[in-house]
Amino acid sequence: MSDPINKTKEKIEAISLEVVTIDGADISAMGKILNLLCDMEEDAEKIGRPVFSDLIYGLKNYLEKAIMGETDDFEPFELGVEHLGSIHRCIRNQEKYKDDISDILDKLGFKCSDSEQEEKCSQQDRPKFESDTEDENVSAEESAAEPNDKIEIKEDIKHPDQDMDEEDREILSGFVMESLESLEAVEVSMMDLEQDPGDIETINSIFRAFHTIKGVSAFLDLDRINMLAHRSENLLDKARSSEIRIDATVIDICLESVDLLKKLIEGVQQGMENGVSLDIGLDITSLVDRIEKIQVEADQIADKPLGEILIQKGEITPEELANALESQKKEPVKKIGQILVQEKSVDPKSVVAALRNQKKTGKRHIDLQVKVDTKKLDNLVDLTGELVIAQSMLRQNRTILATRDQQLMNNLGQLTQITTGLQTTAMSMRMVPIKNTFQKMVRLVRDLAKNSGKEVNLKMSGKDTEIDRNVVDELYEPMVHMIRNSVDHGIETPEERKKAGKDKSGEIHLMAYHQGGNIVVEISDDGRGLGKERIIEKAKVNNLITDESKISESEIYNLIFHPGFSTAKQVTNVSGRGVGMDVVKKAIEKLRGKVEINSSPGRGSTFIIKLPLTLAIIEGMLVRVGQEKYVIPALSILESLRPTKEQYSTVEGKGEMILTRGKLIPLIRLNRIFDAECDHNNPWEALIMVVEQNGNQIGLLLDELLGKEEVVIKSLGETLKDIKGIAGGAIMGDGRVGLILDMAGIWDLTMGVEN
């Protein structure tokens, strides 16, 4: 490969990157692109391919017009850059370039100076590449009729570790991350578009995502990704210009494109990590064929007279059109569509749809966003937490407490305000709306309902409720399990719902809201509800219970969280293996949250998930047992009390009990669990804090309540991370470590063996 070809490759990649990220009339970016084009002119002459040189010259002249404000349409320039990259790849691979770019040159305003140059401008008369054969270029009509002829993807055999430098790897990693995020957003937007097919803003946002993936993948030589994104972008372009109508077929094809692009891009990521090919070789031919078939059908309709469009669609016959044209001669002021409607040859909706097919509107625009590496953001939050701890230790330093220096105290007060503000800001940067997680469920419900033959609507409220990004990531899997169970077990078939006097379409409602210092997510359905009798029957078979009269309704429902527990009569491809709800419980507890169940036979079920707003800071009650300090999560606390002697009792087989609010609850001595000293052995001399775990209440024996605090959670390290009853540690203001209690672990240690 000659040096000029290498030089132009780098410049084309730089231009492509600038083009896909340029924002409006960015003169600085345009100037950078212009300089690169000027540098390429000399190299293009050495390469000796007229089509390549002409396109560079046309792009340069068009960009100069844009800089001078003579045009604001950047689309011809973008198309020209795409062809420039494609031509260059053909030059490098010694392949012929089949596309006719005369239209692109015309749009760029490229004019040949004399008859000889005019001859050269014709693609058919251009000098052939060295590897060209005598066959002529494929015409636009031929390529439209036979889309497979253009799918010539050269398998990528690059090995990243051998062929890419660190800068290239960084660009590729950025492309993978950004593209996967964009495709997730596209998936959500497609669901919105299905509900409102005429929403031009949604169509534009989907178009921009495909456009960006196409542009960046082109200069990264990811041909398969580029081709599929390009075809999908063209389809969306026709949709936003009203040349095709958004219907179930278009939605399904776009979603298939998203799924396939995700697999291809994840393949690039795997190739980088394992040092193998970036192309996993997935076949895109079938999907591309289907996309192009829709486009061809749209092209056959676009720009035709209204009457011809209606005939092609089968809405009217040629005779009806002829009669309408005769009527129009008598009343020229009337439009043909109006006459056809009056003569009842066609309904108004069909005329409106045909008129939409004639319109071609819309300009490209690319949004810019500034993104921060999540590792840097997490590091900022961690450092802010350390600053809060250091500031607290400073304020409780004995020398500081003993000082009478008012200026020092004022400075410390100001430091406290700044630290608190910084902590609040840092934490808010990690907060994201739960909207994206909610909207991912739209497609899940759509696909599950379609596969199960049920009709299910998804209603959402509180989508803008904010939650820690890390919590959102962990919440996705348990929500998927619960949605699947709601569709498979909860919602009845249309026939069953009709017999029960319900609407044939079931409804699942996702709701999120803040409650105190926590976020609450509710998943409810209007289905058949949980079968309490069947749960009891299954629990007895599995030896989970012996006598249902001794357990509460909430405890019965909580039995579904046991591993392997399932009331499904048969295993389906959706659920029934008894692994879903066990996963839900473990995932929620890992997030220091809890899940509650409410159910009513024949009316539906509601799962209530309560979670902390963030995983980095916990709000809790600081308590003391002897010389040790513990933090009890506020989410678990119900009340605290000093019992009387009469409230204390022992029950055979149950141990120590405390009577509170008419109910006996087990008494747990933390000093015995953690082998610590305590000030008071008699419960009526100490304090009891009542906490809840999975609907069960227990009383913790304490010496003193020290107050409510927000503490920064610290890991106890690999050695101590699996200690039951301990969720982590926190550095207190006096520099000592306070242990954060895990209520699920304490329950398992003390009461979990009992049924």
Active-site residues, by number, are 211, 233, 485
Cα dihedral sign for 414, 416, 417, 422? positive
Asked whether the beta carbons of 43 and 7 are under 8 A apart, the reply is yes
Dihedral sign, CA of 382, 386, 391, 395?
Answer: positive
* Strand intervals (E) in 615-682: 617-625, 628-633, 637-641, 648-651, 655-660, 663-669
Q: Alpha carbon of 171 to those of 81, 118, 166, 224, 371: distances in Å?
A: 19, 41, 9, 18, 14
Tell me, letter by letter, the H, E, C secondary structure of 733-746.
CCCCEEEEECHHHH
> Which residues pair with residue 524 across a beta bridge?
509, 606
Residue for token digits 């609507």?
Answer: 457
Q: Can you tell me the distance from the alpha carbon of 623 to that of 603, in angstroms, rounded to the nearest whole number?
A: 43
Q: How far apart are CA 557 and CA 532, in angstroms?
A: 7
Residue 548 is encoded by which pair of tokens?
A: 């249902």
Residue 249: CB atoms within 10 A of its CB come to: 12
CB 119 within 8 A of CB 102: no
Give the torsion through C-alpha atoms of 413, 414, 419, 424, to 10 deg: 100
For residue 115, give the amino acid letter: S
Helix boundaries (H) for 653-704: 670-673
**Collapsed DSSP state (helix, strand, coil) of residue 209:** helix
Alpha carbon distance 90, 92 (integer Å): 5
Q: What angle do CA 539, 545, 546 make, to 5 degrees?
A: 120
**Closest by Cα among 436, 416, 417, 419 to 427:** 419
User: Can you tell me the distance from the alpha carbon of 328 to that of 341, in angstroms, rounded to the nearest whole number?
Assistant: 13
Query: CB count, 10 Å around CB of 206?
Result: 27
Tokens in use for 576?
Answer: 């029934």
Task: Please tell me the distance from the alpha carbon of residue 340 to that of residue 618, in angstroms, as a whole number.
Answer: 70
Return the residue matching tokens 């392997």: 564
CB-CB neighbours of 286 under 10 Å = 11
Taking the chain, what is the end-to-end CA distance rounded to the nearest angstrom? 76
Please tell me the distance from the alpha carbon of residue 367 to that of residue 582, in angstroms, as a whole number: 42
- Tokens 């020290």 label which residue? 706
- ∠ CA 668-669-673, nearest 5°, is 100
Residue 654 is given by DSSP the state: T
Residues whose CB falls within 8 Å of the CB of residue 671, separated by 6 or more in sequence, listed in order: 625, 626, 677, 678, 701
Half-sphere exposure of 739 (CA within 13 A, CB side): 20
Task: Please give the structure tokens belonging to residue 367.
Answer: 């949004």
